[in-house]
Structure 1
């Protein structure tokens, strides 16, 4: 895939992986609509995109609110043929399932799963209408937890698994239309989203630098990959074991449950 000269939308672009992806697409002459809830960090990202050689416009809104998806698509289309959509926005709350407040459950479902499905649905005609030679890029940022479900992340795992399987199904549905559907599976990454968790390498949450993760994502997109795993070595070993012997993962995690519960008890980005 050619990642250069793309026109499109990046959600959750104010910080972390979304910001880094926006800057990288900016380096490749991207013309981007940056979507997020807070104006100030979005404006900072926009300045970085412009400094990198791209164009950027800010759209500050909560994409889970009624009518916002239509406003985003209405703003994106006049900028030119939309041939890029990055569904990156997401939130997390770790806890025992029975202790999760209903509003946090719904917040994760609405932002991590419902909103990207609806935004993809709205922009899919534009993505299909892109140049047949270049095609378009539809990238979703899932999570390594979609590959190996972890305790205290039940709802988050459900949403990230859901968006991953949405991508797989859609990839097969749009085969031959020129839409390249890809899903990234980052493990723990050194972003603002992780600052409220104290889980580290000993619990399988060794954090990788954002720049390294995003570099791998762009390289994998350029190579035409559809599933992009950027997890650290420790997490990959667990993912491999989960494929062949999931009960062994249960046994591996059991002695660490109390420590993991303590480490992630404050992990909340909602």
Structure 2
């Protein structure tokens, strides 16, 4: 059992539900003070309230993480209330329609880039100065194994997730001397609220291609993020860690 964190602040974007909520609650268990971000104030406060009820320390900071001014204001509000952000988890996402090439246009691709490239850039520029001043920190990005697996109609999403790998590896080389690590967690298919009920035949076909024959759960991702946020992961940077039960792409 790792030692609890003493006073560190972790920011998780898109934490009003799904993977973000699980990550926020897991980091709170480790002792992090959690800044819960979501575009929607009510779900963000629900996550923060659940953490406080469980004995943790958290507050909601709703903001549009694709807006430069909103990101700067949010990070400053967190610093004022809790201190500098030492762990930044870029989890926020947007609509993910299935759009084939014939219907795909640049604006739709830009929508994916807003969340998976622009938002992590804005977050990094806002939190890295505080990490440097504190002597180190963690930038953790949420990618997707769909970049490897591929699926018709998902090329815009896949392109943005691939670009995020480039940001991760480039920033890791820039920030290592500052004791700031930069890593990416690439989940497989982790069913959450929006997926609804999954038919048995779909599950059977999926598990036939997966070494661990069960659905991944949000805590599988949250536990990986928690490790990367910990002192034990201080020698790991520039990595893309796939968490998908050993799914076979071919």
Secondary structure of 2:134's counterpart equals: coil
Specify the alignment match of 1:218 in structure 2. Answer: 226
The answer (yes or no) to whether the contact 1:82–1:130 under 8 Å persists in 2 is no
2:217 paired with 1:209: yes
Specify the alignment match of 1:265 in structure 2. Answer: none
Secondary structure of 1:164's counterpart equals: helix
| Deviation for aligned residue 1:102 | 5.4
Provide closer, same or farther for how the CA distance between residues 221 and 69 of structure 1 changes in structure 2, counting only shifts above 3 A: closer
| Deviation for aligned residue 1:207 | 3.8
Matches within 5 A, 1:211-250: 211-219=219-227, 221-222=229-230, 223-224=232-233, 225-226=236-237, 227=239, 228-233=241-246, 235=247, 237-238=248-249, 249=250
Q: Using the alignment, how far apart are the partners of 2:143 and 2:27 within structure 1?
A: 19
Q: Using the alignment, how far apart are the partners of 2:41 and 2:77 within structure 1?
A: 16
| Deviation for aligned residue 1:157 | 0.5
Provide closer, same or farther for how the CA distance between residues 210 and 35 of structure 1 changes in structure 2, counting only shifts above 3 A: same
Provide closer, same or farther for how the CA distance between residues 88 and 165 of structure 1 changes in structure 2, counting only shifts above 3 A: same
| Deviation for aligned residue 1:41 | 1.1
Specify the alignment match of 1:175 in structure 2. Answer: 176
Q: Which runs of 5+ in 1 are unaligned?
A: 239-248, 250-270
Q: TM-score, normalised by structure 1?
A: 0.77
| CA RMSD of superposed structures (Å) | 2.6
The answer (yes or no) to whether the contact 2:68–2:122 under 8 Å persists in 1 is no
Q: Using the alignment, how far apart are the partners of 1:147 and 1:169 within structure 2?
A: 20
Secondary structure of 2:22's counterpart equals: helix
The answer (yes or no) to whether the contact 2:141–2:185 under 8 Å persists in 1 is yes
Q: Which runs of 5+ in 2 are unaligned?
A: none
Specify the alignment match of 2:125 in structure 1. Answer: 121
Q: Using the alignment, how far apart are the partners of 2:40 and 2:25 within structure 1?
A: 18
The answer (yes or no) to whether the contact 2:65–2:71 under 8 Å persists in 1 is yes
The answer (yes or no) to whether the contact 2:113–2:160 under 8 Å persists in 1 is yes
Provide closer, same or farther for how the CA distance between residues 4 and 98 of structure 1 changes in structure 2, counting only shifts above 3 A: farther
| Deviation for aligned residue 1:13 | 0.6
| Deviation for aligned residue 1:193 | 4.6
Secondary structure of 2:44's counterpart equals: helix
Q: Using the alignment, how far apart are the partners of 2:144 and 2:113 within structure 1?
A: 14
Q: TM-score, normalised by structure 2?
A: 0.82
Specify the alignment match of 2:116 in structure 1. Answer: 112
